Every structure is written in C-alpha cells, then in structure tokens.
Structure 1
Amino acid sequence: MTTSEQTKLCALHVISGAPLRRLGPWVERIRGRGFSGVPVACRHFPQSRVRLKSTLVSHLDQSEARSCASARHHPHRHTNTDMAATGPHKMPSWEKRVRIVLCVFGLVLSVYALHVELSREADPDYRAMCDLGESVSCSKVFTSRWGRGFGLVQLLVAKENPLNQPNSLLGLLFYTVQMGLGLSLSKKAALCLVVSSWVSVAGSLYLAFILVFVLGDFCVVCVSTYVVNFALLFTNLRRRRAIEGMKEKAP
C-alpha cells in the first residue's frame, strides 16, 4: 500500500470513527483490488484528531467523504459489500443440500407410489408395506379415482385416456424439474420454482382434504409427500429472495 493510500485510509478511519476492519469496501476503491487486511498503523500520522482531519481531508474525493460521514452517523450500518457477504440476500448455505435431499426423497416416494399402484392393479391381493390397517392403507389411495390426475382429469376424459396419468408420475416430473431448475441462478428459474411449488402445495392441500374427508384414510407416503412439498416451497421462497437481492446489488 503506497503512502497516498495509507493517508486516505487513515483519513477514512479518523473521519468516520469506524474500525479499520470496517473500511474494507473503501479500501477496495482505494487499492483497486480485493481487500485482504489493513497492514498500516495510523500512529505514523499526527495524534491530534482535529489536526489529522484538517491535514488528510484534502486526500478524499467527495464520494468518499460522504461515505465517511454516513458511516459516522450510522456506525452499525452494513455496507453493500458486507451485505452481499453476510446479509439476508446471500444465498443460504443450506439451500443446495436441502434441495437435493428433498427432491431425492420426493423421487423415491413417487417411484414407490407408482410401484404400489401398478402392483395392486396387476394383483388385487397385493399388500404394500405401507398398508398398516383398514384405515391406514396407501394402496387404497393410489388405486382410487383420486390417484390419477388428481381425480379431476376423469371429469374431462375417460379413465383409460393417456392424459389420465398417475399422480406419482406427475410427482416424478415435478421433483426432476425442481432439481434441474435449482442449478440456475436466474430470476426466471427462481420464479418458476416458486410458482410450481405453490401449485404443488395447492395440490397437496386438495389431496389431503380428499384423504381425510372423502376416503377416510391415512396414507403415510401421501403425507410424507405433502411435507416435502411444503419444505420445497419454503426453500424456493428463500432462494428467490436471495437471488433477487444478489441481482439488485450486482454492479
């Protein structure tokens, strides 16, 4: 760091009253490169703060002086650089791991649900591991009218119509899309993730209503899927908020 840079840094330190470690963003502007610490001691300059201000203020341009004044009046306010690193707009460190776990779990549940449905259709006497009793039976739910197309597609087409697919296949598509779009940091991808999650949550609430008040059954696999969908919605909302904040702060 040159003598001129040291002078500017000490002026910033004295005028703002902020600790040297808080001056990273301004040091970046002064040095023109990444901030890695302040290897300078201001004791080499006059000890009187009044004399130091009058001596060094001429080394600061107007924007730096305004920044110093702002930091002095708001000593606890974070700078943009600090916010990007530690603020609420940083991408949550847990987001990627949680998304993978939720999507993989959702895919496993969907594959198992499809296996149970196909096995029950091929063999009416088939008993799945999730069939724990008369009122706790997942195969009963999967082979019901609401196990395909949410029970709504049959209102428009015949039961055997190719459009009337098992809900588990829709789940496979949904969790695959969630994992794929999670690789992108674009705003459009984040919006698609949130919208699709809201749709899945709405579908979960609808099927939960059918499960309890129409079928009178408890399905362990179904309820697990509902939990995964709500968790993905929370994850996607946090992700979108972080991405929008990062885009706003991008130069």
Structure 2
Amino acid sequence: MSKLNGINFALTLSSFIGLGLSIYSYFIEQQDESYKAYCDISDVISCSKTFKSKYGTGFGIIEDIFGENFFLNKPNSLLGIVTYSVLIVLSQLNNKPSTTFHFICSILSVILSAFLAYMMVFKVKTICVICLSTYVVNISNFLLSRTKLKILSKEKVKRI
C-alpha cells in the first residue's frame, strides 16, 4: 500500500501543477493586448500568442466540428482546470474503475498534447513554456496512472 501512497502523492502533485498552469493560462487569456505575461519572452517564445490563437480554444477543432456554441468550445485552459480538478480527486481513489478512468483521461491528454504541440510549433509558429510544462504534466500523469493501474491489477490477482 505504501507504493500506492507514493504514486497517489505524485499523481496529486502533478495534477495540482497542471491545475496551477491552467489557472495561470486562463488568467493570461482574460487580459487585454497590453498585458505582458511572464512567459512572453519574444515573438517566438510567447504563451499569449499561443493561448489566443485558434488552437487555444476548443483545441482548434471543436468549433469546426460542432460549431461555435458547442459546450466544449471553451478555452483549453478552462477545460484543463476542470480536467485537472477531476484528476486530483481520482488520484485519491485506490480502485480499478477510477484508476482506469484516470488512465483513459491521461491517454487523451497525451494525444491532445501531441496535437497541440504540433500546431504550436508548425501552425502558430511559437513556443509556449506553459504549454510545454502542461505536456510534461500530462505525460507524468499517464506514466503514473499506468503504474498505479498495474499495481491495482496485481493486487486483485493476489486476492483471488
């Protein structure tokens, strides 16, 4: 059980970091053009430019598929706030269904991270330090939730 406690702590910490990054991202998005964020280092290294691009809302694809008024066509940071909040709660639960859901959310997050990283570099032509940090959080959550799922699966087998 101590191994699970360590993984739960790491998952919780990682998700809190993701939540903090998402809150900061949302704050930046709400500012006017005169605001200079700490992560706006140059024209190429700019969080604001990335967040305010087409890909900063609904991953740049929700509006194209479902329309502007679709409920998920929100700033990515707002979707991150909701997702990381759910993952924080799921990180505390030591059962296979909640960990499986956490793992599936992590897989989707990694896929979206890869997509957004590609769009950031090749379409928006910027580097966003906050975005890159979020991608690291998503990869960490994926690896940790996979490990937790393996541990829970082994414990189940031992009980039988």
Q: TM-score, normalised by structure 1?
A: 0.60
Residue by residue over 1:42-93, the C-alpha shift from the partner in whole angstroms, topping out at 9 and shown as x without a partner, is xxxxxxxxxxxxxxxxxxxxxxxxxxxxxxxxxxxxxxxxxxx8xxxx7445
Q: State which of 213, 218, 221 in structure 1 corresponds to 2:130.
A: 221
Residues 124 and 225 of structure 1, relative CA distance in 2, 3 Å threshold = same
Query: Amino acid of the residue matched to residue 229 of structure 1?
Result: N
Which residue number in structure 2 is paired with residue 180 of structure 1?
89
The residue number in structure 1 matching 2:37 is 128
Secondary structure of the residue aligned to 2:45 is coil
1:180-219 aligned at under 5 Å gives the runs: 180-219=89-128
Counterpart for residue 157 of structure 1: 67
Distance of 1:180 and 1:94 partners within structure 2: 15
Q: Is 2:30 the partner of 1:118?
A: yes
Larger Rg: 1
How far off its partner does 1:179 sit?
1.2
Higher helix share: 2
Distance in 1, Cα, partners of 2:4 & 2:139 = 18
Q: Distance in 1 between matches of 2:150 and 2:71?
A: 38
Tell me, which stretches of 5 or more residues in structure 1 are unaligned?
1-84
Coordinate RMSD, CA, aligned: 1.6
CA contact (8 A) 1:135 1:217 kept: yes
Partner of 1:102: 14
What amino acid is the match of 2:85?
T
Q: Could you list the runs of 5+ residues in structure 2 that have no partner in the other structure? A: none
Aligned to 1:17: none
Helix, strand or coil at the partner of 2:30: helix
The letter of the residue matching 2:130 is: V
Matches of 2:70 and 2:4 in 1, distance apart?
A: 43
Once the two structures are superposed, what CA deviation does each residue of 1:178-207 show, in whole Å capped at 9, x if it has no partner? 111122222111110111100000000000
Preserved CA contact (<8 Å) 1:128 1:139 = yes
- Percent of pairs identical after alignment? 33
Q: Which amino acid aligns with 2:28?
A: V
Q: Is the 8 A contact 1:91 1:243 kept in 2?
A: no
Query: Runs of 4+ in structure 1 displaced over 3 angstroms?
Result: 90-93, 160-163
Mapped partners of 2:36, 2:45: distance in 1: 12
Q: Which has the higher contact order (CA 8 A, sep 6+)?
A: 2
Report the alpha carbon displacement of residue 96 of structure 1 after superposing the two structures with TM: 2.0
> 1:148–1:165: 8 Å Cα contact kept in structure 2?
yes
After superposition, residues 19-168 of structure 1 pair within 5 angstroms as 91-119=3-31, 123-155=32-64, 156-158=66-68, 162-168=71-77
The answer on 1:249 being equivalent to 2:153 is no
